[in-house]
Structure 1
Amino acid sequence: MPLYEPSPYEILGIPLTAGVREINLAVGPAIKAARHTRQQIQEAAALLRNPDKRLEVDLQQPLPPEPVDQAAELLAPALAEPLLTVERPAQPPAPALLALHRAELAADFAEPAPAGAEPEPPVPARYAADLSVLPQIEVPE
């Protein structure tokens, strides 16, 4: 499966402004070029001949970028100003960084406290389990 599906205009090799006559004339050379199957070429031509379907395809096509001949002139004011410079704070000395790193590693690889080492917090009396939470059970005699 191709990653990119060509538009009907690319299949026929025509511009977006092509009329029905240009579409019909482009079918023959597209078939001779054999870059696409005959079915793809015929479907592309039929799609572009139908005004409603062509409008739908045109709305889905991304607009080509407009050429900019004066790019350097347009960017000149922005390039004339110095770029934003950010002053960085001084770095702490290397031994301080190393000590911090060792402390983080020690914390990361420390053994967790054994379960039951800390007593569980007491449960308030109003939340304690009692027989009121159990369903009524009738015991046969």
Structure 2
Amino acid sequence: MPLHEPSPYEVLGLPPTAGVREINLAVGQAMRLGRFSRQQIQESAALLRNPERRLEVDVQQLLPPDPVDGTADLLAPALAEPLLGGERPPPDPADLLVLRRDDLEADFTEPAPPVAAPEPPVPARFAADLSVLPPIEIPE
């Protein structure tokens, strides 16, 4: 049993750019080859003939990775050094970071609140007065 279900393109032996005519021709050829069951071939052909279902399959298929030229050249510096550092000398104690209580306390203290600048004065033409209030009728 295969680890994954073959795509309709694999069943019919078609590229993703195949048209309906190519799909119809590929059905007969796939039947003659006999690599897949008749039901798989018919279902694959029906799926590829339906534009909406075909789009779903195309979106769900994983794209092959882009080839990287010069991969060996890129990895050469990393592969030149041994991966396990068994022959390296132990680190110098002076190079190790020493944390002191004052440093830790400074890291966990709350910062002082920012000093807010005083608000600029409102020009007189924008000041609120009684003209902005709606008229009020006072009951007698």
Q: TM-score, with normalisation over the residues of structure 1?
A: 0.51
Residue 74 (structure 1) aligns with:
74
Cα separation, partners in 2 of 1:55 and 1:34, compared to 1, 3 Å? same
Secondary structure at the counterpart of residue 18 of structure 1: coil
Question: Hey, what's the Cα distance between the residues in 2 that align with 1:77 and 1:16?
Answer: 39
Question: Hey, what's the Cα distance between the residues in 2 that align with 1:3 and 1:84?
Answer: 35
Residues 17-71 of structure 1: per-residue CA shift (max 9 Å, x gap): 2222221221111000111122211110110111110111111211122233422
Amino acid at match of 2:32: K
Residue 39 (structure 2) aligns with:
39
Gaps in structure 2 of 5+ consecutive residues: 91-140
Question: Hey, what's the Cα distance between the residues in 2 that align with 1:66 and 1:40?
Answer: 30
Residues 79-115 of structure 1: per-residue CA shift (max 9 Å, x gap): 35665737698xxxxxxxxxxxxxxxxxxxxxxxxxx
Cα separation, partners in 2 of 1:82 and 1:37, compared to 1, 3 Å? closer
Amino acid at match of 1:49: R
Residue 48 (structure 1) aligns with:
48
Work out the percentage of aligned pairs sharing the same amino acid.
Answer: 73
Equivalences, count: 89
Alignment of 1:88-99 (within 5 A): none
Cα separation, partners in 2 of 1:82 and 1:47, compared to 1, 3 Å? same
Gaps in structure 1 of 5+ consecutive residues: 90-141
Question: Hey, what's the Cα distance between the residues in 2 that align with 1:3 and 1:82?
Answer: 36
Q: TM-score, with normalisation over the residues of structure 2?
A: 0.52
Residue 12 (structure 2) aligns with:
12
Amino acid at match of 2:64: P
Flag as ranges the 4+ runs of structure 1 deviating above 4 A: 80-84, 86-89
Q: CA RMSD in A?
A: 2.7
